[in-house]
Amino acid sequence: MEALVRWHTPTEGFISPAVFIPVAEDAGLIDKLGRFVFEEAVAQLVNWYASGLNPGKIAINVSPIELQKTDFVDILVEKLQLLGCRPEWVELEITEGYTMRHPEDAIELLDKIHALGVKLSIDDFGTGYSSLSYLKRLPIHKIKIDQSFIRDIPGDANDEAIVNVIIALAQTMHFDLIAEGVETATQRDFLLDHGCLNMQGYFYARPMPANEMTAFIKNFDSRA
């Protein structure tokens, strides 16, 4: 499960995150928005656990700007305690761009987060520029194959090759792996056949508000 932010306004209707997130970044509001999403998502997760459900982990996107705040780890610890959330219930998604632009800072910070027991994943993998030597030094638990590589598989030979390389990389370096943006059964089958066993995307579920998710988790549990 990944926490996604959506914005419905009374006057403008639905505003896409592709529009308002860059604006929040430019306006210096992204860390506030990030904290809001984190608190909402974690509070909801704790709520599900408290009501006897098994929602698993929640993945939360964190912007490079938030990570560069000097009090990021302190606030993370404080919020988890305050909300009664176990660290292992949370996975923070960071981007390749952040880890590679400030590699030494990133290693130090991510080591601290990892030491708390919070999981870390690299989002949109393959779209930035990853240094394999740094990747090996990061306390990363999972990489997420960017949806741009999934869209045209099977069929696009380049994308098939890229996906296969990322799968091999994850297996060799012992990262968990998940494909983003899986929308069709043929995409799913290609990924399964080539060794990528975790997927997210419209094929499984569209983004939904928390109340619908409650029903989804109940159904999911009863299927399992």
Binding site for Mn ion (CB under 5 A): 61, 93, 123
**SS3 string of 11-31?**
CCEEECHHHHHHHHHHCCCHH
How many residues are listed for the chain in this entry? 224
Comparing CB distances to Mn ion, the nearer of 66 and 123 is 123
To Mn ion, the closest distance from the beta carbon of 4 in angstroms equals: 8
Q: What is the CA radius of gyration of the chain?
A: 18
Minimum distance between the CB of residue 59 and Mn ion, rounded to whole angstroms?
7
Nearer to Mn ion (CB atom), residue 154 or residue 203: 203
Closest CB to Mn ion among 186 and 208? 208
Q: State the minimum distance, in angstroms, from the CB of residue 2 to Mn ion.
A: 6
Find the shortest distance in angstroms from Cβ 62 to Mn ion.
9
Question: Distance between CA 66 and CA 154 in Å, rounded?
Answer: 37
Specify which residues 59 forms β-bridges with.
2, 91
| Rounded-to-integer distance, Cα 48 and Cα 33, Å | 23
